[in-house]
Structure 1
Amino acid sequence: MKKEEISLEIYLKEIQKYALLSPQKERQLLMLCKRGDKKSREEIIQCNLRLVVNIAKRYSKCGVALSDLIAEGNIGLIDAIEKFDLSKQCRFSTYATWWIKHSICRAITEKKSLVRIPTYMKAILVQCKEKTTELMKKWDRMPTASEVVSDITIPDSQRKIVNEALITNRAMESMQSIQNLCEQNINIEDKRYRNEEGQSHALQLELILEILKKLDSKRSQIMELRYGLNGRQKMALKEIASQFSLSKERIRQMEKETLKMLKDCLKAREIMY
């Protein structure tokens, strides 16, 4: 076992000794913390370390070491303590979860932006984009990753890894689409949501998907297909209209209505916190 793994194992065992706080005890400590009591602040942190670990583990397959995810999550926990408003009727753990995820997702996004893509793979992805454009004109729809990869000239031994790379690349582009959706189509008045501490693409995507789950099935599916969410293939209005046996204009109208719903939900969420 590596030294880093041993250190992490010791840390995980160490934090087990800190008991979860009751709502009453939690509020008492937070009140003292807001008055500058450092001991209370330390106790709140210690008693929520397991929450950070549980959240960090959900992102363990995102290419960042678990120990680093935990460290970033702890930063989010500290941010939550500083920003928590006692006048709101909300459990601290619920509020802290948002900030812990925020910090972890931001770290993952920054890490991915620093990953060096091999030169040969960059060239292949450019080829894939050109082929995608060509097939879209030919078929009047967005081709799947496998359709694109099967139609470009590369060694068969590379097709699987290129297919996975293209899927990942499209997923990152979907995140960018959602960020643009938030910043442009959803004109949120509360600037904290858009700007405070560099809100990460990943967190924005997670919030949008969470809200979409609460909409009716048809609207949710239309948005997933329109923006390529939840692993769905991104589709044009015409394709979506055909799939749902509706007019293109009706799909456009439903998209506009849903964006308005998302705007209202996101604004309401900010008021809660």
Structure 2
Amino acid sequence: MGLVPLLVEGDLEGTPLLGIEGDRRVVHSPRASDGLVGHYLREIGKIPLLTAAQEVEIGRRIEAGQIAMREALAGIPSAVRGLLEVGDRLRRGEIPAEEVILLPDGRDLEPRVLRKVVRALAHVRRLEAGRERGTRGPWYRRMAKILAGIPFTPTLIETIVAEVRRQREAGIGRAELAEALGRIAEHARAVRQAKRELTEANLRLVVSVAKRYASPTLPLLDLIQDGNLGLLKAVDRFQYRRGFKFSTYATWWIRQAITRALAEQSRTIRIPTHLVEARNRIARVHRDLAEELGREVLPEELAERTGVAAAKIRLILESFREPLSLETPIAQEATLADVLQDTSVEGPTAVVMAQDLTTRVQRALATLAPREQAILRLRFGFDGGSEHTLEEIGKRFAVTRERIRQLEGRALGKLRQPQLARNLRAFVGTETSRWDS
């Protein structure tokens, strides 16, 4: 119906929306945007709003469908193995929790909740180890109940199902696999339909929130696009059992999506979304710790509370520092570029010292026998060449590596004579250890 069919088949977050093609934002002229917005508003105005009872009914349908999908996965060995593998990666910290577990309030997965999920998956692993092929014994009911209680993200479930479809060996017979996949597809359609109803009934809410941020430089259509992404996240995370009206819950997600998009547009250098979210989490913990301790919080204390390494915390916070322009004035007629050293170019002093060092090294090597000179040049990469091992040099001279080591030691011993070493020691500084060994 006109502009309203925003959702495509599938309930992944980030589903293509009006005015968005994949990951590319469609740019409209002001006149075209006004026409599109007007048409869009007329179309969504035809969709009736939901009562609180209707929202609860839709929430129940979504919950029932998702639970049934997870229960059906228990009957497919390859799907269970896929979930267990993802759980192992989650436990090792290789993937963020939000990619595995649906977090209703958008905050970090609390350690106690993570431990509960890990224990549940460990129980599933024990049940999977005792699976009897083709049966529906007590193990299956226990496994189905456990998987039904873990709030996996829709994206993860769809990924697991897609992988099962691609595999030739799922661990069960073809007929049984087809039946299980058929049940999953049926429940997935029911979930998509329920989410679609909830989404379309709240499109006007997105417009009402987006209008607060509209300005001549911020087209309403762009704000609506960003807000619709937040609405989809709210639909995925809606928990009707808490008793809140959906609009109250969704407004937070819509506003967050819009403000995040505005923040990204305002930065000179775009910061990846996962870093923005990590920084926001660190900021929340920092605020709580500062109130608790009554002083400035150390990175090590943040690391202990968040579970993120202190070095990574410093890196994340450093990435949010605003860049300075080289044209920034620092004096009456001077800019920052005038006083910054170009570290990519050697200064005149370094060039002169390097030339002097090269001359002195060549003079020192000239005091050695030709074969000793050649061995040291190869061993230490003089003349701009690469360093060679004793074995490589031995092959070149048709002698053993031990013989090369002896010749190297004798040559270095000659160079350690006071009159020669004194001329080189000032240049190599702390690197003399290799020569003195």
TM-score by length of 1: 0.43
Give the structure with the larger helix fraction: 1
Q: Which has the larger radius of gyration?
A: 2
Calculate the TM-score normalised by the size of structure 2. Answer: 0.27
